[in-house]
Structure 1
């Protein structure tokens, strides 16, 4: 038995990327624990949570609302990645890979949102 959202590729990708960000943020300095570390982890977890919550709703406007939250959380994670890069907490290569992964997830989520009109 499974929930409908578990079959969604965007949910699966969001779950995987959340684990990648969790591992990355463990390397951030201790002084970032209550700032950037906390912010990026809350934002990245919010992506899959909102996709899941939106998938159980039958109303398209409500589904759109939760997918909109997920999209905004993706943008928040990307902004946190820029901050982490500027503070030299990750390499250019790590940044580029994660940036592309989140860009892909953003495009997939927008596409899914448009599909359920």
Structure 2
């Protein structure tokens, strides 16, 4: 695996950013319908996915990164549930729901796979690289 120097290089962060860019306009649509709380919830959960990936990466610790990825995966699960709500409340069509849900589900799977990889590597991260145990 190639060395990653910035979190923006991570495929999972790029996918999370793409998902946020798709969800953000939906939040504006919710606000126009006076559904302010839901608008903030969906924008927050989609943004938290990418934010936690960035935060975990910058902590320079493999275990802290894995923890942050777990939080990101949880936020993606929350977003998937919110997509159901968008569909039920007819803010999006069934086709839009299927497309967005697939993006979120794929992101969840890729985060889980990356967590599995990090759990098998001996690399500790910069924070603990010089420690014996």
Deviations 1:12-55 (A, max 9, x none): 1101110100012222243211x211100000000000001111
Shift of residue 3 of structure 1? 5.3
Shift of residue 61 of structure 1? 2.1
Task: Quote the residue 2:39 is aligned against.
Answer: 37
Task: Quote the residue 2:70 is aligned against.
Answer: 68
Where has structure 1 moved over 3 Å in runs of 4 or more? none
Task: Quote the residue 1:82 is aligned against.
Answer: 84
Q: Which has the higher helix share?
A: 1
Whole-Å Cα distance in 1 between the matches of residues 60 and 118 of structure 2? 11
Task: Quote the residue 1:5 is aligned against.
Answer: 7
Root mean square deviation of aligned Cα: 1.4
Q: How does 1:20-35 map to 2 (within 5 A)?
A: 20-28=22-30, 29-33=32-36, 35=37
Task: Please list every run of 5 or more consecutive structure 2 residues that lacks an aligned counterpart in the other structure.
Answer: 120-133
TM-score by length of 1: 0.92
Task: Please list every run of 5 or more consecutive structure 1 residues that lacks an aligned counterpart in the other structure.
Answer: none
Whole-Å Cα distance in 1 between the matches of residues 88 and 27 of structure 2? 14
TM-score by length of 2: 0.81
